[in-house]
Amino acid sequence: MADKTDAPKARTWNATHLPDLSGRTAVITGANSGIGFTAADALARAGAHVVFAVRDLARGGAAAARVGGSTEVRRLDLADLDSVREFAASWDRPLDLLINNAGVMMLPEQRTKDGFEMQFGTNHLGHFALTNLLLPYVTDRVVTVSSGAHRLGDRRIHFDDPNLTGKYTPQRAYSQSKLANLLFTLELQRRLAESGSPVRALAAHPGWAATNLQGHTANPVARVVMQVGNRFLAQDDKAGALPTLYAATQDLPGASYVGPDGLGEMRGAPTLVGRTTAASDPEAARRLWALSEELTGTEWRLTAAASPAGAEGAR
């Protein structure tokens, strides 16, 4: 899909239009704050059982206690592949909806526990591994939260060195990770369709939503700019969560990308939006998938192993 789209807009759509989700289960990474919490609250109020997949169980529990519906809290650190495997190995029931929401943004250069650049490792590789390990249980769809920042920076994956050794900048790393989210969705949908699976892979972005994500950027000038933008330009987290909720519940084609319909896709009601040519490259998507399998030690599989901890076998 190119940068432009003629897709219809849903200008009046909001969380009150969610269908009845009774009996459905959703896992949301990073559900304790920001658009993740808002999405979790909306889904739970619509009847879904929502699993808060979070690094900090205390913070996750406090957030879940504020939600009007059925919840549980499980520990997941996307920057630690052992934690990802432990989370997946404990899963033993159907999962209607996986929302890959958690992320880090424009951090000072640092590494995950497994030695990957933190933004690529958390935003992409952690979710890639989690999805592969949980996919045998997913019955409906996988929604991955990307960003308009995929249009910035180099507009490519540094396949020879995704850790950006010697050429790291916070923006370059963040943009690469968000491009990776879209390429992952593209290749996941291709594999699902080719296998005849009814599961769909979709992506969404919140536009400019005022959350705590921007507060961890490495550049103090950028932090000030984002604080000003949060105050005067951004929409709140409830509006920022709408593209995720729209992608998670509406009858959309696989590989759809949902974002706000306003100027620059910074704010507005959810609608189908375009993406860059780089984010639509099927060869880059296949190449990224192969690299991600190698780096995470996880691989494509639609069938769970016989044991209750079947996802463990997909390491």
Catalytic residue among 137, 168, 174, 246: 174
Cβ(266)–Cβ(204) below 8 Å: no
Going by C-alpha positions, the residue among 156, 157, 149 that lies closest to residue 175 is: 149
Which of 31, 130, 26, 32 minimizes the C-alpha distance to 84? 130
DSSP 120: I
Distance in angstroms (rounded) separating the CA atoms of residues 120 and 107: 11
Residue 257 known to be catalytic: no
Residues annotated catalytic, as ranges = 174
